Amino acid sequence: MLASEIVTVGECGVGCDARLAVREGWWRSLGRAGLVPADIALVASTGQERAVLAHVGHFYRRAGLTAGAGFLFPEALAVLDVGARQVRCMRFETPLRARGYAATPSSECWGSDLVDVFPRSTGLSLPEALPVAAYPGLAARAAELVNALAVDGPLAIVGAMARDAHFLRILARRLSDDRPQAVLVTSSKAVFAGAYGAALLAGRRFRRATRSRASRVELPPLPPPPGRSTLN
């Protein structure tokens, strides 16, 4: 891994949209890695297709997240992705006649009506209101998906919410009550799971396309990412 960047939409100027944030992240990453665009052999992107405004290179959907989570958390039984529009849970190995994927309808992810009303009724700002108004319900929705897939073992959480320590504590407590054997694990790199997966799949795609010798060489396993911790 040569470089990684997190750019929040709106950070790069007034009226900034997702396309400008992607561009800003691209140039920051190149600068940190000491590269220029001509050094890049292949570009790939990932995400929820309907929510992504600009697909860059080859676009990976669910496969990118699965590959990245499997790389970051090889011991995990399943991965939980809590996004801005949808909560998704996937099992890496599905028992016979069991479900392997579950997701919330995008309109029911955050409980937007409650989030809109709560700040007005309390005088709190939206960032202050989210932990009180939305996090318990969001954790309950995530726990329902974990129960639906009968996850009893290490459960990796990825995506932007993996960086929110307060939400992780609420979710860990909820899982301890509902499904004690579902152990929540995370990492400082969990926010990049989809990007890691897209990069890994793009690398495999490039080796196949070029028929390079690298595709026939057994690469040594990479060390686990730093900062991984068990939360419950």
Q: Are residue 170 and residue 70 in the same domain, yes or no?
A: yes
Q: Are residue 100 and residue 126 in the same domain, yes or no?
A: yes
Q: Are residue 201 and residue 129 in the same domain, yes or no?
A: no
Residue 232, domain member (yes or no): no
Q: Are residue 148 and residue 211 in the same domain, yes or no?
A: no
Q: Are residue 39 and residue 147 in the same domain, yes or no?
A: no
Residue-number span of the structural domain to which 137 is assigned: 62-190
pLDDT in tens, 121-167: 555 555 665 666 678 888 999 999 999 999 999 999 998 889 889 89
Q: Are residue 78 and residue 159 in the same domain, yes or no?
A: yes
Residue 112, domain member (yes or no): yes
Residue 145, domain member (yes or no): yes
Q: Are residue 29 and residue 107 in the same domain, yes or no?
A: no
Residue 5, domain member (yes or no): no
The region, left, alpha or beta by phi > 0 then psi within -120 to 50, assigned to residue 30 is alpha
**Residue closest to 62 by CA, chosen among 91, 33, 42:** 91
Q: Are residue 90 and residue 181 in the same domain, yes or no?
A: yes
The confidence score (pLDDT) of residue 128 equals 63
For the beta sheet containing 183-186, the strands, ordered from the edge strand earlier in sequence to the opposite edge, are 101-103, 87-91, 78-82, 154-158, 183-186, 229-230
Which of 64-86 are b and which e, b meaning 16 or more Cβ less than 10 Å from the residue's Cβ? bbbbbbbbbbeebbbbbbbbeeb
What's the mean pLDDT when you consider all of the chain?
A: 79
The SS3 of residue 221 is coil
Residue 1, domain member (yes or no): no
* Candidate from 60-64, 75-79, 203-207 with smallest mean pLDDT: 60-64
Number of domains in the chain: 2
Residue 12, domain member (yes or no): no
Residue 104 CB: number of other CB atoms within 10 A? Answer: 20
Per-residue confidence band for 232, with pLDDT thresholds at 50, 70 and 90: very low
Residue 7, domain member (yes or no): no
Return phi, psi of residue 204, to 5°.
Answer: -65, -40
Q: Are residue 27 and residue 114 in the same domain, yes or no?
A: no
Q: What is the CATH number of the domain that holds 161?
A: 3.30.420.40
Residue 4, domain member (yes or no): no
Residue pair 154/186 in contact by the 8 Å Cβ criterion? no
* Candidate from 50-54, 79-83, 116-120 with smallest mean pLDDT: 116-120
Q: Are residue 144 and residue 127 in the same domain, yes or no?
A: yes
Per-residue confidence band for 35, with pLDDT thresholds at 50, 70 and 90: very high
**Gap between the Cα atoms of 217 and 212, Å rounded:** 10
pLDDT in tens, 102-116: 998 876 655 554 445
Per-residue confidence band for 68, with pLDDT thresholds at 50, 70 and 90: very high
Structure-token pair, residue 69: 């989570």
